[in-house]
Every structure is written in structure tokens, then in C-alpha cells.
Amino acid sequence: MKIILLQGDITKMEVDAIVNAANTSLLGGGGVDGAIHRAGGPAILEACRKIRDRQGRCAPGEAVITTAGNLPARFVIHTVGPVWNKGNDEEKQVLRNAYLNSLDLAVKNGVQTIAFPNISTGVYRFPKDVAAAIAVAAVKEFMSQDDRITHLIFVCFEKENYDIYSGLLSQN
Ligand code: AR6
């Protein structure tokens, strides 16, 4: 069980699943969501629409899984992080749930290698240092109880997030 830190573009990752920081519509958006749909092609949106038709919107903290279309990954796990509202709306718990529910869905689908972006730290304005601490704690907790994920990669797009994760992961 390895946690790996990279700076780069998650759409390029050759892993079983990449995680998307989606919104409750599941129908695409900007940021990493836009990048994944652009690079993966229309099969991802088509799969998202089918899920929407079946179960409606995806609530914050929940996750769904689709094909990865033309991406090198096999699956995209779409999760919805919280919009930061000064910590008033249980955003921390919702962010933790987004990581844990994504991992849960991953192992149910036989995923062994998975890459996460820094959920909620862009458009949704979650403080980056707090978000990183929640992400690292959640995945370490999950991986200490379940050994089916062999490699977990935090893919930071920005140097600021990379440096924060680097500091956190070098601690024991
Ligand atoms: N690879 C990895 N990380 C990326 C990439 C990429 N190609 N592009 C951006 N990031 P955001 P959120 C980073 O805004 O805050 C969308 O419109 C980015 O630097 O993508 O959860 C959705 O549809 C940041 O650190 O997601 C929702 O409406 C991180 O990904 C809303 O944004 C997350 O930033 C979700 O907001």
C-alpha cells in the first residue's frame, strides 16, 4: 500500500481509476471536471446522464462510477465535494465522505490503483491546507483497514497544493 504524490494532470494517469471533482448535476463543469470530460470524450457524459436518469443528482460527499472513455484509466469515479462556507455547513465531514465513498466504490469495482485530485480546493474554495489534512487522514484511515488499494496517488495541479501535501506526507 503506497501513497504517492505527483504534480501534474490527472487525465494522463495510467491507473485503474481517477477521481473527478464533479458537481451535483454530474453533467460536467470547469476545472478538473472539464479537463476529464474533454480528454475522455463523450462516453463519460453519456454514462453520467444514465446515472442521472436512474438516481438523480449526486449529493455532496457521495460518489458514482463510469467508464473513463478515451482516458488511459479504466474508470472515472465522480464525487462531489462541499462548497466552502467558512466551515459552517459540515464541509469537513462532507469532504472526508467524498474521499471515503470514492475509495469504497473503487474497491467494490476491483480498483487497485487510484488517483485523486485536490477535491473542493478550486472553484469550491475549500482552504487548501485544511483540505489536504482531511484527504491524507481519510485515505490513511481507509488504507489501514482495507488493503485492496495497492497504490494511491495524490495528483496536485498546483505547486501550492503539492507543497502542502509534501509536508503532510513527510510526517509519520
Ligand atoms: N488535473 C489535476 N487537478 C486539476 C486539473 C487537472 N487536469 N485541473 C484542475 N485541477 P476544481 P472543486 C485542480 O475547481 O473545487 C467544476 O466546475 C485544481 O487546481 O476543479 O471541487 C465542477 O463541475 C484544484 O486544486 O474542483 C464543480 O462545479 C482541484 O483540481 C466545481 O468545479 C479542484 O478544483 C468543483 O469545484
Task: Tell me the pLDDT tens digit for each residue of 146-165.
Answer: 999 999 999 999 999 999 99
121 within 8 A of 160, measured Cβ to Cβ: no
Identify the pLDDT of residue 171. 84
* Residue 89 pLDDT > 90: no
Task: Tell me what the pLDDT averaged over the chain comes to.
Answer: 97
The C-alpha cell at 110 is 476491483
Task: Match 444514465 to its residue by C-alpha cell.
Answer: 50
Q: How many CB atoms lie within 10 A of CB 33?
A: 22
74: domain CATH number?
3.40.220.10
Identify the pLDDT of residue 1. 76
Q: H-type helices in the chain, by residue range?
A: 31-40, 42-55, 91-108, 128-145, 159-170
3-class DSSP state of 3: strand
pTM given for the model: 0.98
3-class DSSP state of 93: helix
The C-alpha cell at 60 is 455532496
115 within 8 A of 15, measured Cβ to Cβ: yes
The parent domain of residue 82 ranges over 2-169
Q: Is 158 in the pocket of ligand 1 (CB under 6 A)?
A: yes
> What confidence tier does 115 reach under pLDDT thresholds 50, 70, 90?
very high
* Residue 104 pLDDT > 90: yes
The C-alpha cell at 128 is 487548501
* Residue 4 pLDDT > 80: yes
Q: Is 131 in the pocket of ligand 1 (CB under 6 A)?
A: no
Task: Match 477521481 to its residue by C-alpha cell.
Answer: 19
User: 57: burial class by Cβ within 10 Å (0-12, 13-18, 19+)?
Assistant: middle
Q: How far is the CA of 159 from the centre of ligand 1 (A)?
A: 14
Residues labelled as active-site residues: 33
* Residue 91 pLDDT > 70: yes
ipTM surpassing 0.85, yes or no?
yes
Identify the pLDDT of residue 172. 61
From 25, 52, 157, 163, the mutation candidate for ligand 1 (largest count of ligand atoms within 8 A of CB) is 157
From 20, 24, 27, 32, the mutation candidate for ligand 1 (largest count of ligand atoms within 8 A of CB) is 32
CA distances from 28 to 60, 90, 158 (A): 15, 24, 21
> What is the count of structural domains for the chain?
1
Quick one: average pLDDT of 24-52?
98
Identify the pLDDT of residue 43. 98
